[in-house]
Each structure stands twice: as C-alpha cells, then as structure tokens.
C-alpha cells in the first residue's frame, strides 16, 4: 500500500467516526432520524462504535503524522463511548438535548424556513417515542437521575413554551396556517414531556434548592474529565489550590499599579473598584453599542496575528435557553453553509448590570477575535479531517487558546489602565472555577458553598454566582478546562520558544484536539506538519470550499 492509499484509508475511517457522531446527535444527514434511548438503538450504535474502533486500531502508522491522526480518532471514539453510555443509561440525557435542537432551528439554521420547519416538525413528532423510551429507563433510574430528569423536563417545557408562543418572531416568513401548525406541534411535544414529570417529582428536591448536592462517583468524574475533556483529575488536585493563590496574588499586584487613591486589599474590593471605575453600561442597548465598537477594534488587531477570510460576527442578546446559565454572554457557532461565514457573540441583557466594561472587552477577544469566532471560522475553512473539526478531548485547547488571547491582546485596549486588572481578575476566575467544580463534583459540597465561593473570591452578586454554578451543573467538568488548557498551552509556548505570532497561528491551525495531540503537532517537522494540515481533509467538506479556502489560496 502506498502513502496515498493509506491516507485514503485514514480519511474513510475519519468519515466513519464522524457519521457515528452525527447519528448519535440526530445531526446533518441524520436530522430526520429520531434516536430514542431504547435498548435496540443502543445495541445498534454500540456495534457501530465497536466496528469503528476496530477499523481505527487496524490502521498502520508509519510516520508521526499518522500516529497523531490515529491517536486523535481513538480519543474521539473514547468520547463517543461515554456519550452513548450516558445517552442510553441516564434518563435525563435524551430529554435534555431537545432544547438546543429547537434553538438551533430558531436562531442558527440559515436554510429556508419551510425546509427547516419541515425538519423540526419531524423531530417534534418523534418526541413521544423518545419520551416512551425515557419512561422505560425510569424503572431502574437512581434518585439523582430522576431528580435531574425532573429539572430537564421543566426546563425543556419552559423553552418549548417560549418558542411556541413566539413562532412569528423566530420564523417570521411562515404564513398563519404554518405558524399555527408549528405552535401546536410544539405544545403537543411539551405536553408529552410534562407527562414524564409527575412520575419523578415526588420526593425530589426543588430544581434550584441550593442545599442540594451534585456529587459524581469518583470513577465517573475521572472518566468525564479524561475521556470527554482530556483533563487529568490528579493534575488538578495536585496544583489547583496553589494556582488560586498565585492568581489571587497577581490580581493584587495589578491593583497596586492602578491610578486610584485607595488600593483594593480584598477580592470584593477589587470587584468594587472594577465596578466603580470600569463598570457596566446604564442600559442593555448601551452595552450592545459599546460591545460593537470593541468587536471592531479586536477584529482589526486579530488580522495581524492569525489568518481568517471574510467573515461576520453578529452581536445579539442571549438566546432564551441560555439566559440563566450564561451570566455575561458567550459565543454560538453559525450555520456552516452560510457565506460569508457567520457566527454570533451574545450578551446577557437580563444581567447587564453585572457585565462590566472589562467583561465586554474580554469577551470581544475571548468569544470573537481571536477567540471562539475565529476558531469556528477556521473550522469551516481548513482542510482537516472531520473529526478534527468536531473535536476530541479538545475543550482545554479551545478554551485555553481563547483564554490566552485575553492577555496577549491586552494591547487592543492599551488606553485603559483597568483592563490589565480585569485580565488578572479573569484568570483568577478561571482558577476558582476549578475549585468550584472539585467542590461540586468530587467533594459533594452543597451548591450553596460553590455559590459562596464565587461571591467571596470574585465579588459576584448572588444571581451571577448562582448562574455560574448552574452552568457547571449543566456542563459536566467543562469549566475546569479554561485554566487547565491555558497552563498547558503556555507551558508548550515556553518550551518551544516560538514567536508569539507564529505560535498563535499554529494554535488556530491544528484543529480541535487534545493537549497530547497539540503537543505532538507542535513538534512535527515542516514536512509532517504540512501533511497534517493538507492531506487528510474531510470527505464532507464541499469541493468549492476546498478550492476557495485551501492553503494555496491564502496570502
């Protein structure tokens, strides 16, 4: 077998892995195919997973680049195995995914409304089948899983009712008859989901009881961190307290350089100073206007550091399902079919008084330029394998890179003496997130203790602190990744001694990979790196995009 034939085998294996991903999420070519959490569906997908593993394990790896690609696909399948275990083993999983699907059609999908509503109607029609399979899982579900399902049912019904009552807002070109049919279908699905709730509510704690706990079994927590996120729990436990001490000290060092009469001596005083001298806007509209200006400045600066084509980063208010768990804002990938490539950064207009000037400046970088928006744009344009676009154990990379940009791009706002303090404060924030996750998942501390930690260490108001912990409840282990990824990435940067600009471009070129794969990529020679970037392109990437965005076309 020559090299070209072997590359083709790798591309086929990549496609097989990617299709498993899309099948388990009802996405792309499977968006009309419901996936009830039934024993039959589980057996089928686990057989497909085993076949994919066997195909990947059989691949030769004669060069370093092949070793990296095969290692990445193994990481990818590790994550899929845990996902399937959760989806088919936890009663709350399938119901919990319904909200993001309807939000995607309402806020992201760029296809004609008639087409996407037709698909949405098919998905809504499958809700009874999903609910029936979920009900069967309840017979052997734990108390915690029943309580989690109660919360998911309540949240999905709330989100469904919102979209059902606002069909004209989210699907403005539908005629009256079509809009009514969609609204009725949403209401019927909501009623089916609501029927699950009485079976599990009795004896469950209220959904937002802060005396409750959310502890994981240690083996499961380790598996979530390792198999899904690529984070090692023992590493976190070995240094997280020391890192919090270091980041707290850095905050006070930065505060001591401020041109103000009274130097902050405690973290609540730091938060108060940031609110006083670089505080929030008076209205949500003013917040959005200010953020728009910051995005333009960050975009100009980013073009000198990393390649990206014509694109659009829309600025919007927080999507309805995320309003309680994204206290400041965030980023949402766009529809990859849309040109120019378009994503959106959103701000929480309902919590605007907590979104200080530092949060706006930081988010213009972290969420956008060069942060998550540019990561998304490069995901669309780069000729990488599909699984490198989808990602495996990659959250420390995508969050660590965006977190690094916050500091590297301080110069964008060099006229502001308070922004360096906010960057230090933000770094302390991501270190504290690790402590909160360990308290919540490993130590089994009450939610109230985690809320208090954010209030004490960062001066958050109760609503913002609760929103941060709520996000940690919903996104298992995710918030350990920001500081963990930053620590790894800056270590590689020091070790390799690369120019900061060149290193930045590499970080946006490698795809969505684990820290182990990133380290291997950074150490490839030029020939092997060119092969990594060009030879293994996704079979799902449109030929016109390959022609338009291929590296040979870049200036």
Tell me how far apart the alpha carbons of residues 71 and 349 are, in angstroms, rounded to a whole number. Answer: 42
The mean per-residue pLDDT over the stretch 422-432 comes to 98
- DSSP lists the bridge partners of residue 230 as none
Closest CA to 255 of 276, 281, 282, 241: 276
- Helices 395-408 and 515-522, interaxial angle, to 10°? 60
Q: Which residue do the tokens 């039934």 mark?
A: 38
Closest CA to 128 of 179, 70, 71, 194: 194
The mean per-residue pLDDT over the stretch 226-232 comes to 97
Tell me how far apart the alpha carbons of residues 14 and 541 are, in angstroms, rounded to a whole number. Answer: 12
% residues pLDDT > 70 (the chain): 98
CA-to-CA dists, residue 29 to 79, 185, 191, 540, angstroms: 21, 23, 28, 11
Sign of the Cα pseudo-torsion (45, 25, 311, 356, in order): negative
Closest CA to 130 of 4, 206, 35, 237: 35
C-alpha 187: how far from chain center: 29
- pLDDT confidence band for 204 (50 / 70 / 90): very low
Q: Which residues contact 378 (CB under 8 A, 6 or more apart)?
A: 308, 508, 509
- For 309-352, the pLDDT digits (tens) are 999 999 999 999 999 889 999 999 999 999 999 999 999 999 99
* Residue 201, pLDDT above cutoff 60: no
Closest CA to 207 of 92, 318, 317: 92
Tell me how far apart the alpha carbons of residues 59 and 11 are, in angstroms, rounded to a whole number. Answer: 11
The two three-digit tokens of residue 447, written as one number:
């939610």
pLDDT at position 509 is 98
Rg (CA), the chain: 23
- For 516-527, the pLDDT digits (tens) are 999 999 999 999
Domain ranges of the chain: 3-89, 93-201, 221-482
Percent helix, strand, coil in the chain, to 5, is 70, 5, 25
Tell me how far apart the alpha carbons of residues 351 and 466 are, in angstroms, rounded to a whole number. Answer: 12
3-state class (DSSP) for residue 1? coil
Could you tell me if 469 and 450 are in contact, meaning their C-beta atoms sit under 8 angstroms apart? yes
Q: Which residues contact 258 (CB under 8 A, 6 or more apart)?
A: 273, 277, 417, 418, 421
Peptide bond into 173 cis (omega under 30): no
pTM over 0.85, yes/no: yes
CB atoms within 10 A of CB 166: 13
Tell me how far apart the alpha carbons of residues 450 and 445 are, in angstroms, rounded to a whole number. Answer: 8
- For 448-469, the pLDDT digits (tens) are 999 999 999 999 999 999 999 9
The two three-digit tokens of residue 326, written as one number:
């994204």
Q: Which residue do the tokens 């077998």 mark?
A: 1
75: alpha, beta or left, given left = phi > 0 and alpha = psi -120 to 50?
alpha
| Residue 329, H or E segment | strand 329-332
Looking only at the bridges linking them, the beta strands covering 341-347 and 329-332 are antiparallel
Strand runs (DSSP E) across 348-469, as ranges? none
The mean per-residue pLDDT over the stretch 198-207 comes to 49
3-state SS of 33-48 is CCCCCCHHHHHHHHHH
CB atoms within 10 A of CB 260: 12
pLDDT at position 1 is 86
Strand order in the sheet with 329-332: 311-317, 341-347, 329-332
pLDDT at position 553 is 78
Tell me how far apart the alpha carbons of residues 273 and 452 are, in angstroms, rounded to a whole number. Answer: 20
- For 488-543, the pLDDT digits (tens) are 999 999 999 999 999 999 999 999 999 999 999 999 999 999 999 999 999 999 99
pLDDT at position 198 is 55
Peptide bond into 340 cis (omega under 30): yes
Tell me how far apart the alpha carbons of residues 365 and 405 are, in angstroms, rounded to a whole number. Answer: 7
């Amino acid at each position: 077998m020559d090299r070209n034939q072997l590359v083709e085998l790798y591309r086929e294996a990549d496609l097989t892995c990617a299709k498993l991903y899309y099948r388990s999420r009802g996405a792309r070519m499977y968006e009309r195919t419901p996936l009830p959490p039934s024993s039959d569906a589980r057996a089928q997908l686990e057989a497909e997973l085993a076949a994919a593993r066997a195909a990947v394990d059989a691949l030769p790896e004669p060069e370093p680049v092949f070793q990296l690609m095969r290692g990445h696909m193994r990481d990818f399948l590790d994550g899929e195995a845990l996902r399937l275990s959760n989806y088919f083993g936890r009663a709350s999983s399938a119901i919990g995914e319904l909200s993001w699907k309807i939000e995607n059609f309402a806020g992201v999908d760029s296809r004609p409304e008639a087409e996407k509503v037709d698909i949405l109607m098919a998905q809504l029609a499958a809700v009874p089948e999903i609910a029936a399979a979920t009900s069967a899982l309840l017979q052997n579900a734990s108390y915690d899983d029943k309580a989690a399902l109660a919360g998911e049912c309540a949240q999905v019904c709330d989100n469904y009712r919102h979209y059902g009552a606002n069909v004209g807002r989210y699907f403005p070109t539908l005629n009256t008859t079509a809009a009514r049919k969609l609204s009725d279908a949403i209401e019927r699905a909501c009623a089916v989901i609501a029927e699950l709730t009485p079976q599990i509510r009795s004896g469950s704690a209220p959904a937002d009881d802060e005396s409750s706990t959310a502890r994981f079994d240690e083996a499961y927590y380790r598996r979530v961190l390792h198999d899904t996120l690529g984070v090692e729990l023992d590493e976190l436990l070995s240094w997280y307290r020391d890192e919090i001490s270091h980041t707290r000290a850095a905050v006070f060092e930065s505060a001591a350089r401020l041109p103000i009469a009274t130097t902050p001596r405690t973290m609540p005083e730091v938060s108060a100073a940031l609110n006083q001298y670089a505080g929030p806007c008076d209205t949500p509209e003013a917040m959005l206007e200010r953020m728009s200006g910051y995005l333009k400045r960050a975009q100009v600066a980013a073009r000198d550091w990393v390649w990206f084509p014509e694109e659009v980063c829309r600025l919007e208010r927080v999507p309805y399902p995320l309003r309680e768990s994204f206290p400041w804002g965030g980023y949402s990938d766009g529809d990859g079919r849309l040109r120019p490539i378009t994503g959106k950064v959103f701000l929480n207009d309902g919590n605007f008084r907590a979104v200080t000037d530092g949060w706006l400046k930081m988010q213009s970088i972290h969420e956008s330029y060069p942060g998550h928006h540019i990561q998304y744009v490069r995901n669309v344009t780069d000729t990488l394998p599909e699984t490198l676009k989808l990602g495996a154990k990659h959250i420390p990379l995508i969050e660590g890179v965006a977190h690094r940009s916050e500091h590297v791009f301080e110069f964008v706002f060099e006229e502001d003496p308070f922004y360096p303090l906010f960057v230090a404060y933000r770094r302390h924030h991501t270190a504290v997130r690790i402590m909160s996750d360990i308290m919540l998942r490993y130590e089994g501390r009450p939610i109230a203790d985690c809320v208090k930690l954010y209030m004490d260490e960062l001066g958050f108001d109760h609503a913002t602190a609760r929103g941060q912990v709520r996000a940690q409840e919903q996104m298992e282990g995710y918030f350990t990744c920001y500081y963990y990824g930053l620590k790894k990435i800056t270590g590689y940067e020091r070790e390799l001694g690369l120019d900061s600009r060149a290193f930045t471009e590499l970080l946006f070129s490698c795809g969505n990979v684990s820290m182990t794969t990133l380290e291997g990529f950074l150490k490839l020679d030029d020939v092997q790196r060119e092969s990594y970037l060009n030879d293994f392109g996704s079979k799902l990437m449109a030929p016109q995009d390959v022609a338009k965005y291929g590296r040979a076309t870049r200036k």
